[in-house]
């Protein structure tokens, strides 16, 4: 346990953004961590986050002017999805979730997750979170979620996009690519990984999150070098683009963003009001079916 890295805490002094999101705006990628005494972290985790409980998240949403959320159960909680299921149950229909599962889950467990507001599963491919998952388990899970109408969230590094191009061509369920595929902005819009992402984004079953500007930026704050990448994705697929904060920003090794600053990036990413409503309200509502 002593060798497990400890994540930096988020910037707790969230400032109120200048930009006011539209009504029912959704943070489509965020996490709830702990508290550890109630929702213990998995023994085999690759990192230990700071406690970032539901109460803090609700305070954050109030400051940022956001109402809906998609809670992504992070790998540090293993396949115990209690932390997000409990949060969804307290949200009056305003939260949905993405779960961590394995091939030991029964049909009854999947059904309980669905009733609890889960609408997808996530697989990490990035090296710092363990690398490529067991692909046999991956395909088994895909076959299990297809009848439920769920999607799969793929957390790739840029190199993974190239390695798994054939997988993207063949997935029989909708898939969501996190953080613009983590393509480094310094490699330019013409880098092979981003060209592949643009091609994939044109498919009817591919969704992309234009969050993680702080993760792909080469320049650092205020991360404006991520704007051309987000807008290129919008040009090819504005109906299947999502946005999120990624709060509380686990495994950030550089400048910790203030979430008020990230919200104020929205009108730069999405300068037109109809796009703001589409990406922040209509698209997540269509994928997650909020009450």
Q: Give the pLDDT confidence score for residue 1 in this predicted structure.
A: 44
> Per the structure block, which two tokens stand in for 289?
């079916």
Per-residue confidence (pLDDT) for residue 34, from 0 to 100: 94
Q: What is the pLDDT of residues 230-280, one digit of tens each?
A: 999 999 999 999 999 999 999 998 889 999 999 999 999 999 999 999 999
Q: What's CA 272's distance to the chain center, in Å? A: 23
Instruction: State the Rg of the chain over Cα.
Output: 18
Q: Which neighbouring-strand residues pair with 88?
A: none
Stated pTM of the model: 0.96
State both tokens at 229: 């990448």
- Report pLDDT for 3: 85
Maximum alpha-carbon separation in the chain = 49
For 188, counting Cβ atoms within 10 Å of its Cβ (0-12 exposed, 13-18 middle, 19+ buried), the class is: exposed
Residue 91: the pLDDT is 98
Q: Among all residues, which ones are annotated catalytic? A: 246
41: left (phi over 0), alpha (psi -120 to 50) or beta: beta
Q: Which residues of the chain have pLDDT under 50?
A: 1
Secondary structure string (H, E, C) spanning 25-60: CEEEEECCECCCCCCCCCCCCCCECCCECHHHHHHH
Domain boundaries, the chain: 26-288
26-288 has CATH 3.20.20.140 classification: yes
Strand partners, 97: 71, 118
CA distances from 94 to 23, 42, 174, 208, 291 (A): 12, 27, 22, 21, 7
Q: Collapsing DSSP states into helix, strand and coil, what is residue 153? A: strand
Among candidates 75, 200, 50, 60, which has minimal Cα distance to 126? Answer: 75
How much is the pLDDT for 107?
96
Q: What is the pLDDT of residue 2?
A: 57
């Amino acid at each position: 346990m002593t060798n497990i890295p400890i994540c930096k805490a988020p910037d707790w002094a969230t400032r109120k953004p200048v930009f006011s999101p539209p009504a029912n705006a959704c943070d489509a990628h965020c996490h709830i961590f702990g508290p550890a005494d109630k929702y213990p972290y998995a023994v085999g985790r690759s990192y230990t986050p700071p406690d970032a409980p539901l109460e803090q998240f609700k305070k954050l949403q109030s400051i940022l002017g956001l109402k809906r959320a998609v809670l992504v159960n992070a790998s540090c909680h293993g396949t115990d999805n209690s932390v997000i299921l409990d949060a969804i149950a307290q949200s009056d229909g305003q939260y949905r979730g993405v779960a961590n599962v394995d091939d030991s889950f029964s049909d009854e467990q999947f059904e309980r997750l669905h009733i609890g507001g889960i609408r997808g599963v996530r697989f990490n491919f990035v090296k710092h979170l363990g690398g490529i998952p067991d692909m046999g388990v991956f395909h088994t899970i895909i076959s299990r979620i297809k009848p439920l109408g769920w999607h799969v969230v793929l957390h790739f590094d840029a190199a993974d996009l190239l390695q798994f191009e054939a997988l993207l061509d063949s997935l029989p369920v909708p898939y969501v690519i996190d953080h613009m595929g983590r393509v480094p902005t310094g490699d330019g819009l013409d880098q092979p990984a981003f060209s592949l992402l643009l091609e994939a984004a044109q498919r009817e079953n591919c969704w992309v999150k234009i969050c993680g500007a702080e993760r792909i930026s080469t320049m650092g704050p205020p991360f404006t070098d991520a704007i051309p990448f987000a807008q290129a994705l919008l040009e090819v697929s504005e109906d299947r683009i999502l946005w999120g904060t990624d709060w509380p920003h686990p495994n950030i090794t550089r400048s910790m963003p203030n979430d008020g600053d990230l919200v104020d990036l929205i009108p730069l990413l999405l300068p037109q009001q109809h796009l703001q409503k589409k990406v922040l309200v209509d698209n997540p509502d269509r994928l997650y079916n909020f009450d």
